[in-house]
Amino acid sequence: MVDVELLVLGGGVTGLAAAAGMGDRAVVIERDARPGGLVRTECFDGYWFDRVLHVLHFQDPALRDRTRALLGGVLAPCPPEAWVETAAGTARFPIQLHLGGLRAEARVRCLEGLARAACAPAPPDGGGPPAYDQFLLASFGPALCELFYFPYNRKLWRRPLDALVPAGQTWNLQRPSLADAIRGAFPDAPPRGGYNEDAFYPRPPADAPCRGMEVLARALAARVRHLSLATEVEEIDPARRTVTARRGGERVVYRYGACLCTLPLPAAMRMCVDAPPALREAAAALPHNAVLSAAFSVRGPRPAAPGQWRYYTDESLCFTRLVHMTELDPMMAPADGWGVLAEIPVRSGPRAPDAEVLARARRDLARAGALPPGCRVVDARLMAADPAYVVFTRGADAAARACRDWLAERGIAALGRYGRWEYSSMSRCMAQGIRWAESARAGVPWADGEAALA
Ligand SMILES: Cc1cc2nc3c(=O)[nH]c(=O)nc-3n(C[C@H](O)[C@H](O)[C@H](O)COP(=O)(O)OP(=O)(O)OC[C@H]3O[C@@H](n4cnc5c(N)ncnc54)[C@H](O)[C@@H]3O)c2cc1C
């Protein structure tokens, strides 16, 4: 039995931020051989790929300054430059602020829809939230929905949009004032920022052993004194305050004072020996999507100004966006090449063989015109994130909250994107971890509502 004051389950950025600087008081248990969770970056023969698109953006200037100091100057400002490919032309993202990129008739229809949406009376109270498609229509009007929001969201969520509700996925939807939409509807209008302008990406020196967003995870991990890698949590006993894990075939039992759980909520509930069956079943039924990231190493001239990433609304293309890794950091590929990451959302569950997914993505890459003449794909790899997107259906939020409350009442804080079961960013996850550590250090019991303040 190992006695631990603060036990952290999961070595992603939430868990690492919580334990960083806690010295001997905290132990992090991580299943994988490398810390970072989703925030890891793979190198395939000199081509570097984040496991998913990762740009670090901050709402809190104090956390930004603290993170920049931690990374010792390698975190470079990287205001997003993204584009949207639609049936009516290419517009800068967020599209509602850059209608000038669209064909004239589409611009007029989008503005008309936005104007009607802006003037519509607020829906009456009561009756619960509208379906997600109705929410989008009321926010942006029909033309912008048909052009971008509907096809993009159908590809992302892989469900009819009337089966979803607007909940935790709406924080990054920017509803423009009509004046701002009009300003952006002139073809030569200057670009304007979205929700994540205060954004950064690591750009370490050429000979650095690690590139990409994993630089952040490694910097956090370097501040964690007790990080037990290749150690898989198997059982949580909240009544005894113990966690049983397996490391190299050996069983290790930890007894904790306080516990932070960043494992996906359904998995955590399944592992809790005394979880009420109804809660466990509700957690197991929480819908979610996986993301398959198809990483293509390309030899040939880099495309001219492709943007850091590009959204594709054509529903016959398997990916929602293409990420141009060398736009984030030019040294993410050899000088005579570049890397492109195709983000393919799928419903969780059995899926097509990797080779099939890669072959389809490669065909679609060519169809989308993303491989300029003189370029040749020299390698293709598939990386899966599952869960990647929690899905907001009616009742899902309440079920997740009931599970978190049950855990919190037993001294376990369920935090992080999958621990809380939410749609959150790296900085928000780090803020949650830090907040938990502060309250644990002060001996204050954790209440789930605390995370909302992070
Ligand atoms: C497609 C996509 C794009 C994104 N883009 C951005 C972006 O641009 N900017 C941004 O800020 N955020 C972005 N995010 C969100 C960001 O990746 C997450 O918010 C963050 O990485 C979550 O960190 P975490 O530590 O909470 O979870 P995780 O990274 O999932 O960490 C949990 C850890 O628990 C471990 N674990 C699981 N089960 C066990 C077990 N049984 N025993 C031991 N360990 C276990 C896992 O291995 C993992 O390391 C994106 C996410 C996705 C899916």
Tens of pLDDT, residues 5-62: 999 999 999 999 999 989 999 999 999 999 999 999 999 999 999 999 999 999 899 9
For residue 220, how far is its CA from the centre of ligand 1 (angstroms)? 14
Nearest protein Cα to ligand 1, atom 31: 12
How many residues comprise the chain?
454
> Is the Cβ–Cβ distance between 282 and 266 less than 8 Å?
no
The reported pLDDT for the residue numbered 174 is 78
The reported pLDDT for the residue numbered 188 is 86
Give the number of the atom of ligand 1 that is nearest the alpha carbon of residue 36: 49
Where are the domains positioned within the chain? 2-42+208-286+393-453, 95-183, 288-390
The reported pLDDT for the residue numbered 177 is 87
Per-residue pLDDT band for 453 (boundaries 50, 70, 90) equals low
Enclosing H/E stretch for 16: helix 13-19
Q: Average of pLDDT values for 193-217?
A: 91
Mutational pocket test of ligand 1: of 426, 430, 434, the residue with most ligand atoms within 8 Å of the beta carbon: 426
For residue 12, how far is its CA from the centre of ligand 1 (angstroms)? 6
> Is the Cβ–Cβ distance between 311 and 156 less than 8 Å?
no
Residue with tokens 């994130």: 385
Per-residue pLDDT band for 169 (boundaries 50, 70, 90) equals confident
Residues β-bridged to residue 339: 297
Closest CA to 17 of 423, 454, 437: 437
CATH topology (fold) of 288-390: Polyamine Oxidase; Chain A, domain 2 (3.90.660)
Question: In one letter, which amino acid is 256?
Answer: Y
Give the tens place of pLDDT for each residue, 274-325: 999 999 999 999 999 999 999 999 999 999 989 999 999 999 999 999 999 9
Give the tens place of pLDDT for each residue, 97-120: 999 999 999 999 999 999 998 888
Enclosing H/E stretch for 8: strand 2-9
- Of 69-73, 169-173, 320-324, which gets the smallest average pLDDT? 169-173
Distance, in Å, from the CA atom of 447 to the CA atom of 80, rounded to the nearest integer, reads 35
> Is the Cβ–Cβ distance between 367 and 317 less than 8 Å?
yes
- Of 151-160, 171-180, 183-192, 336-345, which gets the smallest average pLDDT? 171-180
Per-residue pLDDT band for 200 (boundaries 50, 70, 90) equals very high
Distance, in Å, from the CA atom of 401 to the CA atom of 12, rounded to the nearest integer, reads 21
The reported pLDDT for the residue numbered 454 is 59
- Of 155-159, 196-200, 427-431, which gets the smallest average pLDDT? 196-200
> Is the Cβ–Cβ distance between 369 and 35 less than 8 Å?
no
Token output for 91: 């517009």
Ligand 1 binding pocket (C-beta < 6 A) is: 9-15, 29-32, 37-39, 52-56, 232-233, 262-263, 267, 291, 343, 385, 388, 416-419, 424-427, 429
Distance, in Å, from the CA atom of 216 to the CA atom of 38, rounded to the nearest integer, reads 12
> Is the Cβ–Cβ distance between 448 and 296 less than 8 Å?
no
Distance, in Å, from the CA atom of 27 to the CA atom of 255, rounded to the nearest integer, reads 11
Nearest protein Cα to ligand 1, atom 20: 426
Nearest protein Cα to ligand 1, atom 7: 54
Token output for 192: 């304007």
For residue 16, how far is its CA from the centre of ligand 1 (angstroms)? 11
For residue 359, how far is its CA from the centre of ligand 1 (angstroms)? 27
Residue 222 has pLDDT above 70, yes or no: yes
For residue 249, how far is its CA from the centre of ligand 1 (angstroms)? 25
For residue 410, how far is its CA from the centre of ligand 1 (angstroms)? 24
Residue with tokens 């869960």: 387
Burial of 209 (0-12, 13-18, 19+ CB in 10 A): exposed
Percent of the chain scoring above 90 in pLDDT: 86
Quote the Cα angle for 292-59-420, to 5°: 50
For residue 417, how far is its CA from the centre of ligand 1 (angstroms)? 6
410-424: buried (b, 16+ CB within 10 Å) or exposed (e) per residue? bebbbbbbbbbbbbb
Give the number of the atom of ligand 1 that is nearest the alpha carbon of residue 415: 26
Give the number of the atom of ligand 1 that is nearest the alpha carbon of residue 29: 43
For residue 51, how far is its CA from the centre of ligand 1 (angstroms)? 10
Please indicate, yes or no, whether the overall pTM of this predicted structure exceeds 0.85: yes
Contacts of 103 (CB under 8 A, 6+ apart): 88, 89
Mutational pocket test of ligand 1: of 27, 263, 386, 390, the residue with most ligand atoms within 8 Å of the beta carbon: 263
Give the tens place of pLDDT for each residue, 83-102: 999 999 999 999 999 999 99
Q: Average of pLDDT values for 153-158?
A: 96
Q: Average of pLDDT values for 234-251?
A: 97
The reported pLDDT for the residue numbered 123 is 66
End-to-end alpha-carbon separation of the chain, Å? 33
For residue 37, how far is its CA from the centre of ligand 1 (angstroms)? 5
Nearest protein Cα to ligand 1, atom 48: 37
Provide the total of helices (H) and of strands (E) in the chain, helices listed first.
Answer: 15, 19
Q: Compute the mean pLDDT over every residue in the chain, rounded to the nearest whole number.
A: 94
Give the number of the atom of ligand 1 that is nearest the alpha carbon of residue 232: 42
Enclosing H/E stretch for 200: strand 199-202
The reported pLDDT for the residue numbered 449 is 66
Contacts of 169 (CB under 8 A, 6+ apart): 392, 423
The reported pLDDT for the residue numbered 119 is 85
Residue with tokens 């300003």: 183
Per-residue pLDDT band for 140 (boundaries 50, 70, 90) equals very high
Residue 244 has pLDDT above 80, yes or no: yes
> Is the Cβ–Cβ distance between 258 and 248 less than 8 Å?
no
Distance, in Å, from the CA atom of 76 to the CA atom of 67, rounded to the nearest integer, reads 12
The reported pLDDT for the residue numbered 133 is 93
Per-residue pLDDT band for 221 (boundaries 50, 70, 90) equals very high
Distance, in Å, from the CA atom of 188 to the CA atom of 384, rounded to the nearest integer, reads 40
Residue 125 has pLDDT above 70, yes or no: no
Token output for 182: 């009009």
Give the number of the atom of ligand 1 that is nearest the alpha carbon of residue 16: 25
For residue 11, how far is its CA from the centre of ligand 1 (angstroms)? 9
Mutational pocket test of ligand 1: of 54, 81, 195, the residue with most ligand atoms within 8 Å of the beta carbon: 54
CATH topology (fold) of 2-42+208-286+393-453: FAD/NAD(P)-binding domain (3.50.50)
The reported pLDDT for the residue numbered 13 is 98
Per-residue pLDDT band for 195 (boundaries 50, 70, 90) equals low
Q: Average of pLDDT values for 173-178?
A: 83
